[in-house]
């Protein structure tokens, strides 16, 4: 889980290809049967018990090297290309349609046209930001600094701290103002302090990059260098008071409800009433502060750092936020650091793809409405809704059979399971974008307006009843999540897509591994992982365990933490077992729960081979198919420090090493590299 409610597979953009393929592809070519998908991906030079991830996906990975414009490549990216093509056709049609002002088609067409007009963008240079840069330059007092931070927040510049309106973790029927640590230009606090050569070099490159960007924004080289040093010093101070990745996963430790008056005591001298009013949050009377020590430091900096320091910091964060929508020199320099230095990309992705990414962020549900009408058939939706029921029934049986949990806690766990709301495919109610203004005047201004719309859409929820029908992902997103406050699993249409295979041609073994284990079972288990298990059936942060049961559970969590801590992924970098515990628990839980659900299907009972593979072999291979992905060392290093998910290969090899059925199905012997003795295997759900 994370605070953006973005769980599950970490591939970023949508994939409706399989759903789309239902109408345009089949498994035959001029009457000749195509090779079995799973069989074709195998690398049989690798023993399943030594490295199942490579055994399952090796042939595919060899045939699909990472393109120069990408930091990683995998099944989701293959599908994404098809989605891009369809989105492009929709946008190009809208751009020449001359649709009526205010219609969805007008907004789609104008966003696309402005984004693709690189000639105008280059002519405009820094001009779209000039009014905001001038406002920053005109600051004279600490009060001016606060006012400008508030203004920039509305524009989507998250300087100094993070704020949003979300459900109160201890009262899920209430929407509350949430205040979180933030304000850093590097991915997280560890980048400011880790002493390994890779991270030390990133810090040096970051200081150069900030100076280069400020120079491109109009400062002299000397001014830009001096201001870059100011930025680095201020951000380092903020980073010192920022919590580590693993520490952000404790919901109790990151919950501090305060009145506005108490906020003032936390940060003496700051007028929070005025500041919240400037952020259009005047009606907020309380806030839930995640990390009070961070806000103490932020408050001190607002009083002690010079106005010139804040000018440099806010100019940098403003330019950095919108660099990709500005002229080529700014866009290229931004890519050099965040794309090449941080993630290892060799070249920029095509402009049209990047415009579509921004459009997805700006008005994704507008596009989603067009997709689901055409590419997610009712029969497909029905199949996965039924699979959700089957996997939930399997989870119920697993809970009932636990030997480490008492009956009283089991009953509460079952109540919570039965209260989980599954959302499959797409929302029943779509967002209304009627108040969003999009034109062809400026690409950067369109993104600013979209940010303003999104900000106001979010803060408008304060004081209103919780809308439990809302989705935090679009249907075309290759991802899924569990929301603890709503006690729901959200499964966008795209997450069930398998490229090159129509849904009706995918056997149950594949889809129970690919969709049932890595998505449905995974998200269900998030409700009972080390973090989700602290929320009750109503979505409230409340202990429903006996003390002894919680102790037994924590012992098992500690086992999986130790297991993943032992995995070295790059140079001296090891997996952070504590930070990734929730995802590792959910991976393991999803696999064993969905496997038992699959065992009740006709395919499993018949036991017939497909492509020379037994049903259970196909189940495990279907799960591994979902993590068919490889990445550059640079992005792998970044994700180890910033991501609560383990790398793709360990999301297969790690949990499989704990599953007895895996050993039986692939005859894994003690000499195999993945082999773990019975006493070392983790069993939770």
pLDDT(25) > 50: no
Q: Is residue 284 over pLDDT 60?
A: yes
CATH code, domain carrying 631: 3.40.390.10
- Residue 332 counted as domain residue: no
CATH of the domain at 293: 1.10.1380.10
**What are the beta bridge partners of residue 425?**
492
> Do 29 and 148 have their domain in common?
no
Domain boundary among 281, 306, 325: 325
What is the β-pairing status of strands 72-74 and 161-168? unpaired
**Are 304 and 395 in the same domain?**
no
Same domain for 137 and 260, yes or no, is: yes
Over residues 219-257, the pLDDT tens digits come to 999 999 999 999 999 999 999 999 999 999 999 999 999
| pLDDT range class, residue 462, cuts 50, 70, 90 | very high
Residue 15 has pLDDT above 60, yes or no: no
Distance of CA 271 to the CA centre of its chain: 34
Contact 565, 627 (CB under 8 A): no
Same domain for 166 and 254, yes or no, is yes
The total domain count for the chain is: 2
Range with the poorest average pLDDT among 86-95, 143-152, 575-584: 86-95
Residue 413 lies in a domain: yes
Looking at the structure, tell me whether residues 280 and 388 fall in a common domain. no
Distance CA 250, CA 169 (A): 12
Per-residue pLDDT for 356 more than 90?
Answer: yes
Q: Which of 325, 352, 386 is the last residue of a domain?
A: 325
Pairing of strands 256-259, 568-570: unpaired
Do residues 413 and 295 share a domain?
A: no
Task: Name the pTM for this structure.
Answer: 0.92
Six-digit token pair at 65? 């090297």
* φ, ψ at 147 (rounded to 5°): -60, -40
SS (HEC) of 357-414: HHHHHHHHHHHHHHHHHHHCCHHHHHHHHHHHHHHHHHHHHHHHCCCCCCHHHHHHHH
Judged against a pLDDT cut of 90, whether residue 371 lies above it is answered with no
Phi-psi category of residue 269: left, alpha or beta, with phi > 0 → left and psi -120 to 50 → alpha: left
Question: Is 437 within a domain?
Answer: no
Q: Is the pLDDT of residue 160 over 60?
A: yes
**Does 461 reside within a domain?**
no
178 domain-assigned? yes
pLDDT reported for residue 82: 81
pLDDT value for 27: 34
Does residue 383 sit within a domain?
yes
Residue 377 confidence class, pLDDT cut points 50, 70, 90: confident
**Domain housing 227:** 127-325
287 close to 156: Cβ distance less than 8 angstroms: no
Q: Are residues 281 and 419 in the same domain?
A: no
Q: Is the pLDDT of residue 658 over 60?
A: yes
User: Residue 640 — left, alpha, or beta (φ > 0 → left; ψ -120 to 50 → alpha)?
Assistant: alpha
Do residues 410 and 272 share a domain? no
> Residues 258, 381: one domain?
no
Indicate whether 351 pLDDT > 60: yes
Please report the pLDDT score of residue 571 as a whole number: 86
> In the prediction, which pLDDT does 83 show?
80
How much of the chain, in percent, has pLDDT values that exceed 70?
95
Which band of pLDDT confidence, cut at 50, 70 and 90, is reported for residue 13? Answer: very low
- pLDDT tens per residue across span 590-627: 999 999 999 999 999 999 999 999 999 999 999 999 99
Whether 396 and 295 share a structural domain = no
User: Is the predicted pLDDT of residue 16 greater than 60, yes or no?
Assistant: no
Residue of 602, 642, 612, 381 lying closest to 504 (CA atoms): 381
Per residue in 293-339, pLDDT tens? Answer: 999 999 999 999 999 999 999 999 999 999 999 999 999 999 999 99
Any domain includes 530: yes
Select from 293, 325, 357 the last residue of a domain: 325
User: Quick one: pLDDT at residue 464?
Assistant: 93
pLDDT at 5: 34
Query: pLDDT-derived band of residue 33, with 50, 70 and 90 as boundaries?
Result: low
- Residue 521 near residue 45 (C-beta atoms within 8 A): no
pLDDT value at residue 86: 83
Co-location of 151 and 298 in the same domain: yes
Is 594 inside any structural domain?
A: yes
Of the candidates 443, 512, 523, the residue with the CA atom closest to the CA atom of residue 479: 523
**CA torsion sign, 456 to 462 to 467 to 473?**
positive
Q: What is the pLDDT of residues 64-93, one digit of tens each?
A: 999 999 999 999 898 888 888 888 998 999
Q: Is the pLDDT of residue 28 over 90?
A: no
Residue 9 φ/ψ, nearest 5 degrees: -65, 140
Q: Is the pLDDT of residue 3 over 50?
A: no
CB-based contact 315:227 (threshold 8 Å) = yes
φ, ψ of residue 559 to 5 degrees: the values are: -60, -45
Do 171 and 305 have their domain in common? yes
């Amino acid at each position: 889980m994370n605070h953006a409610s973005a769980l599950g597979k970490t591939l970023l953009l949508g994939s409706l290809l399989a759903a789309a393929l239902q109408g345009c592809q089949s498994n035959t070519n001029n009457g000749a049967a195509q090779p079995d998908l799973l069989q074709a991906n195998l690398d049989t030079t690798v023993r399943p018990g030594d490295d199942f991830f490579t055994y399952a996906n090796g042939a595919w990975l060899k045939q699909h090297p990472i393109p120069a414009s990408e930091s990683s490549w995998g099944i989701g990216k293959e599908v994404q290309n098809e989605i891009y093509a369809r989105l492009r056709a929709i946008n190009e049609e809208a751009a020449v349609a001359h649709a009526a002002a205010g219609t969805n088609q007008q907004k789609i067409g104008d966003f696309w046209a402005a984004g693709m007009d690189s000639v105008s963008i280059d002519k405009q240079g820094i001009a779209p930001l000039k009014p905001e840069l001038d406002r920053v330059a005109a600051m004279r007092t600490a009060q001016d600094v606060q006012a400008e931070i508030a203004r920039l927040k509305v524009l989507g510049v998250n300087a100094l701290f993070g704020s949003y309106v979300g459900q109160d973790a201890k009262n899920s029927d209430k929407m509350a103002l949430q205040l979180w640590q933030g304000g850093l230009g590097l991915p997280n606090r560890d980048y400011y302090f880790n002493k390994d050569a890779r991270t030390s070099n990133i810090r040096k490159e970051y200081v150069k990059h900030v100076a280069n960007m400020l120079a491109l924004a109009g400062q002299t080289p000397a001014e830009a260098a001096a201001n870059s040093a100011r930025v680095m010093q201020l951000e380092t101070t903020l980073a010192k008071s920022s919590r580590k990745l693993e520490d952000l996963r404790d919901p109790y430790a990151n919950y501090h409800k305060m009145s506005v008056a108490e906020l003032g005591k936390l940060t003496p001298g700051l007028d929070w009433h005025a500041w919240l009013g400037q952020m259009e949050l005047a009606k907020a009377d309380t806030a839930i502060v995640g990390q009070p020590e961070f806000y103490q430091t932020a408050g001190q900096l607002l009083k002690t750092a010079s106005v010139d320091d804040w000018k440099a910091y806010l100019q940098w964060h403003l330019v950095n936020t919108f660099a990709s929508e500005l002229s080529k020199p700014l866009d290229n320099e931004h890519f050099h650091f965040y794309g090449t230095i941080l993630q290892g990309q060799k070249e920029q992705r095509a402009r049209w793809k990047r415009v579509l990414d921004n459009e997805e962020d700006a008005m994704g549900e507008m596009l989603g409405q067009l997709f689901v009408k055409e590419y997610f058939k009712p029969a497909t939706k029905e199949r996965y809704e039924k699979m959700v029921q089957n996997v939930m029934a399997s989870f119920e049986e697993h809970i009932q059979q636990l030997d480490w949990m008492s009956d009283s806690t089991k009953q509460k766990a079952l109540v919570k399971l039965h209260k989980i709301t599954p959302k499959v495919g797409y929302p029943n109610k779509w967002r209304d974008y009627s108040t969003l203004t999009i034109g062809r005047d400026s690409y950067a201004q369109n993104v600013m307006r979209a940010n303003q719309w999104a900000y106001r859409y979010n803060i408008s929820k304060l004081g209103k009843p919780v809308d439990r029908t809302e989705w935090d992902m679009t249907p075309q997103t290759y991802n899924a999540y569990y929301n603890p406050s709503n006690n729901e699993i959200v499964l966008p249409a795209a997450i069930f897509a398998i490229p090159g295979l129509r849904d009706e041609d995918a056997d149950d073994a594949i889809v129970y591994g690919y969709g049932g284990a890595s998505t449905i079972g995974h998200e269900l288990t998030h409700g009972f992982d080390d973090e989700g298990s602290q929320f009750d059936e109503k979505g409230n942060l409340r202990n429903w365990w006996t003390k002894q049961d919680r102790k037994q559970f924590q012992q098992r969590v500690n086992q999986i933490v130790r297991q993943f801590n032992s995995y070295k992924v790059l140079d001296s970098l090891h997996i952070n077992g504590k930070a990734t515990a929730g995802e590792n628990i959910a991976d393991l839980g999803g696999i064993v729960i969905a496997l038992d659900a699959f065992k009740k299907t006709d395919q499993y009972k018949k036991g017939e081979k497909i492509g020379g593979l037994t049903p259970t072999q196909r189940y495990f291979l279907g799960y591994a198919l979902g993590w068919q992905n490889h990445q550059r060392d640079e992005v792998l290093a970044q994700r180890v420090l910033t991501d609560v998910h383990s790398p793709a290969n360990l999301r297969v090899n790690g949990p499989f090493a704990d599953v007895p059925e895996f050993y039986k199905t692939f005859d894994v012997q003690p000499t195999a590299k993945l082999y773990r003795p019975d006493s070392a295997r983790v069993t939770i759900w």
